[in-house]
Homo-oligomer: A and B are copies of this chain.
Amino acid sequence: MKFGGTSMAGTERIRRVANIVRRQQAAGHEVAVVVSAMAGETDRLVTFCREANALYDPAEYDVVVAAGEQITAGLLALTLQAMGCKARSWLGWQLPVRTDDAHAKARIESIDSAALLASMAAGEIAVIPGFQGLSPQGRVTTLGRGGSDTSAVAVAAAVRADRCDIYTDVDGVYTTDPRIVAKARKLEYVTYEEMLELASVGSKVLQTRSVSLAMKEGVRVQVLSSFIDDDAPPADNLPGTMIVSDEELARIQGDLEMESQLITGIAADKNEAKVTLTRIADRPGAVATIFGPLAAANINVDMIIQNVAKDKGETDVTFTVTRADLARTQAMLEAQQEAIGYFRMIADSKVAKVSVVGVGMRSHAGVAATMFRALADRGINIQAISTSEIKTSVLIDEDETELAVRVLHTAYGMDAE
């Protein structure tokens, strides 16, 4: 079970969390709980670090910010004890949660589960601060913002848990953002790959790394709401969304004789910016002169469209980067204008990427065609297209984002009755 910062914000909320945990144990489970810091606490500690040293040493930054989860872990153990449960905290260095030494963005390498399993088998609820680990040099590490989801999945993998329940401020994964489409439906199941595609295009229910890890380790993850009544059914009744493998989903669909869903969800991402370089010489190596330097500068390029040569062996190249990287991208390309040999650079940050995601795409043709026709019928202009095995994305004018999501939600027959 994993609880985020909103759920842990203050002793009253921690009491609600403890009650959910207690009932899970009472239902016959051995339980480990991973907790975030109180909402706002990590920001407070990060601000201290910035004030102390603008170019902070990430090793000491980790010492400071890891304290937030240490506090909530101790407090949840105390609260569970007050309810009559046996409970104890296990700090990152105590288990230990072994990571590499990339401070402030460390990756978990292994978790020693022996002591944890013995404690749980003895009826103790294990409370583990998320986000933190131990480097090979014996120093405190943290996993980067949102790392507690990854901690939870890693612990679940280490103890071979039946399930990793991630309690959030939403009650599951939806076909699309319910704030945009009122008829969005909560999904009972979604595959790891679908979840990754939905996460990477702006559906921020889970940290992407945690989903990758769950897929690699085969951890069944349930997303569900922490804002539940004391008499709500226990989490075993799967009130949230289960994230599972393709194989498990196929089995479930077979068992339930469910209609295989073509499209699982629709995501929108307004964090894109578009750059077009015009009249580039259409010769081998031209594209490498653009993207080589960007990759070296750690600028991630998403969609890339190269038109066929128009005339005189010249072509236009369009690509997208995150808005945060746009200024650096422009500066870099301006400096390289001669080397690349383009005529003009046109930048546009008023764009959005809308994606339809679903494992059903693999076996069904025509999914993209439906998308293009539905958008065209409403006069929405497509500026670029990219596809993967289970995703089709289009770049459109930012102002048309919500309209496009609603149109597509209806076009794929996903609207709730």
Residues of A within 8 A of B (CB): 11, 14-15, 45, 48-49, 51-57, 59-64, 66-68, 70-71, 73-79, 81-82, 88-89, 91, 93-94, 138-140
Q: Which of B59, B60, B74 has a CB less than 8 Å from the CB of A63?
A: B74
Choose among A14, A52, A61, A68 the residue with the greatest number of B CB atoms under 10 Å from its CB. Answer: A52
Contacts known (A48-B11, A70-B70); A78 close to B61, Cβ less than 8 A: yes
A59 to B76, CA, bound (A): 13
- Minimum CB–CB distance for A36 against chain B, Å: 14
Q: Which of B70, B82, B138 has a CB less than 8 Å from the CB of A64?
A: B70
Contacts known (A60-B88, A93-B93); A53 close to B78, Cβ less than 8 A: yes
Contacts known (A51-B11, A91-B140); A71 close to B82, Cβ less than 8 A: no
User: Are A74 and B61 in contact, with the CB atoms below 8 A?
Assistant: yes
Q: Which of B45, B51, B55, B60 has a CB less than 8 Å from the CB of A89?
A: B60
Chain B residues with CB under 8 Å of A81's CB are 53, 56-57, 60
Please give me the residue from chain B that is nearest to A82 by CB atom. B53
Q: List 13 A-B contacts (CB under 8 A).
A: A11-B52, A45-B71, A52-B78, A53-B78, A53-B79, A53-B82, A56-B81, A60-B81, A60-B88, A61-B74, A64-B70, A67-B68, A94-B138
A93 to B139, CA, bound (A): 10
Please give me the residue from chain B that is nearest to A89 by CB atom. B63
Contacts known (A52-B79, A79-B53, A94-B139); A74 close to B70, Cβ less than 8 A: no
Q: Which of B55, B73, B78, B88 has a CB less than 8 Å from the CB of A49?
A: B78
Chain B residues with CB under 8 Å of A77's CB are 57, 60, 63
